[in-house]
Amino acid sequence: MQFLWYFLVLVKPPKSSLKVIKEITIIPKPANAILNAGNFKITKNTVIFCNNNDLLPVAEYMVAKISGAMGFSLQIKEGTGKGINFKISDTADSTSGNESYKLQVTPKNIELTANKANGIFYGIQTLLQMLPPQIKSSSLQQNVEWKIPCVEIEDSPRFPWRGLMLDVSRHFFTKEEVKAYIDQLAEYKMNVFHWHLSDDQGWRIEIKSLPKLTEIGAWRAERVGDWWQREPRQENEPVTYGGFYTHEDIKEIVQYAKDRFVEIVPEIDVPGHSLAAIAAYPEISCTHSVKDINVGNKFYTVDENSLCPGKEITFEYLDKIFTEIAMLFPSEYIHVGGDECYKGFWSKCPDCQKRIQNEKLKDTYELQSYFIKRMEKMLEAKNKKLVGWDEILEGGLAPNATVMSWRGMENGIKAAKEGHQVIMTPTNHCYLDLYQGEPSVEPATYSICRLSDSYNFEPVPDEVDPNLILGGQGNLWSEAVPTFRHAEYMTWPRGWALAEVFWTSKENKNWENFVTRVEDHFVRADFGKINYARSMYNAIVTPFNDENGILKIKLDTEIKDLKIFFTFDNTNPDSYSPKYETPLFIPKNATRLRIITYKDEKPAGKMISLRIDELQKRVL
């Protein structure tokens, strides 16, 4: 399938008034772009020139990305010349930042200029997205002309923190899968990989000074089925499900991310969400009662999963853990979690009560604040900054902590008003483990976050200093994500939407235009064998009771230009079925409503089949 470019050639405005004339299908959308007539054609004789040795690795990255599909490798040379030129600017533009770039493509030459190598890397992502979609394939593509349209682009990001989080505790993902995830997010100019490495269902990183963390904490009984509905581990049942990353694995992944200008922010979730650590070392708990790693069965408030802040040995073990974490990860940030900490066992623990008394604390909320403040001092001693979920505000915030606001925007606003840096990641916009559309045709999960919800996210509230909002990220919790293919499905295209939210100015965003570009990137993902969700094509079903208490059905779509067809007669709808115009009155004795959407006279969304009694329950 040949990629389609729709070009409009207009008189080029003066450079000082650079603006978009006609869209090219780049995600995230560039700040300024002009599309000109003509193309630059890449052949086996094309040479990449680098005017700085720092650019040789990014040139090699580009060659590796394109050689499989093209069937040849481009030569890389130092200096400048006719071909593709990567240039570090001789006079750095102090106003544009290290991640900005300028790109000019003419029929004879490509010139990509930036202040730093990471700016060149982001310009390369733009170049790759302007090649035909077959470039995403790892195998030779025949009869494709490798052309890049002639453009002038000036581009820079809105936020310095543009990330995705992957939870590898609930389900373990291999080293190669983690690298693939990093590679995919980097292709959309994201620069932070938040790595959730510990939780109640598994400890995923080798700590040499505390070997039981992985000997015991990394393995649990194997289970499938709905989360929280699973049978607990039975006596003498094998614990064969799980895995962990060795120090060598971590070093390899960190370097892989560094080569893509991605900062890995590790998370060790404490004091709550620590059941796996407690199972390995019961002495850091209040009750010493935990025996098994949780398999996805209900346990909260029953099985202890919060570390004991009353025992000094807890902090001694944490210092060992974070000493190794700080050694392995060059990021200035370490995430300590701090969320959903159940304090019931603390209330009954003599050690915790003694700590509260000795430190003159009011209650267990201030005890958690005491814990987080000690963690901050511990990390500062290792030249690291503490990041935590917004619960770390409760009981008093550590002086220099950065807050990741997930329970809406309110706690992020509160933290910013207190002068703290904030990363906005509210559930209703940024949680990638939620339903993407009509639940009946999606893999089981909870709540909902549509593509448009992610795209319409605005990270900077009006009432706060925008300089305190570092940016944001999408979070993929993996309770209902057992495979990497499904991780891709849950991430894309919502991850593309968030990439644009964090890179592109809000004035330059446009939902309908974004949808058009997403459709082109579906094609690119197909060639790259990357899984993604087409949920934006599915109908939105909203049952309601009218003023007379009669159940009716409103149908809608997330994107325009979709037609909705339906049936109540137990047949499958198609374009010859009734077309939806106004809210539906349910015929007498009807038992099921079936719905399908069409675009350009072809089926677009999944066929939705819902029992009438199920729709009635949605209203209640």
Pull the structure tokens for residue 82: 């006719």
Q: Which residues contact 285 (CB under 8 A, 6 or more apart)?
A: 278, 304, 306, 307, 308, 345
Active-site positions?
Answer: 199, 273, 340
| Residue with tokens 């310009």, as numbered in its chain | 123
Instruction: Report the 10 Å Cβ neighbour count for 97.
Output: 16
Find out whether 285 and 214 touch, Cβ atoms under 8 Å: no
How many angstroms separate the first and last alpha carbons of the chain? 48
Tell me the chain's radius of gyration from C-alpha atoms.
Answer: 26
CA within 13 Å, CB half, 498: 35
- 431: exposed, middle or buried (Cβ count in 10 Å: 0-12, 13-18, 19+): buried
615 backbone dihedrals φ, ψ, rounded to 5°: -65, -35
184 by DSSP, 3-state: which? helix
* CA dist list (Å): 128 to 1, 48, 124: 17, 14, 6
d(C-alpha 370, C-alpha 341), whole Å: 13
Quick one: CA dihedral 255, 253, 158, 153, positive or negative? positive
Find out whether 264 and 329 touch, Cβ atoms under 8 Å: yes
Query: β-pairing, 602-603 with 592-599?
Result: antiparallel
| Residue with tokens 């099985």, as numbered in its chain | 303
Find out whether 276 and 201 touch, Cβ atoms under 8 Å: yes
Pull the structure tokens for residue 24: 């090219």
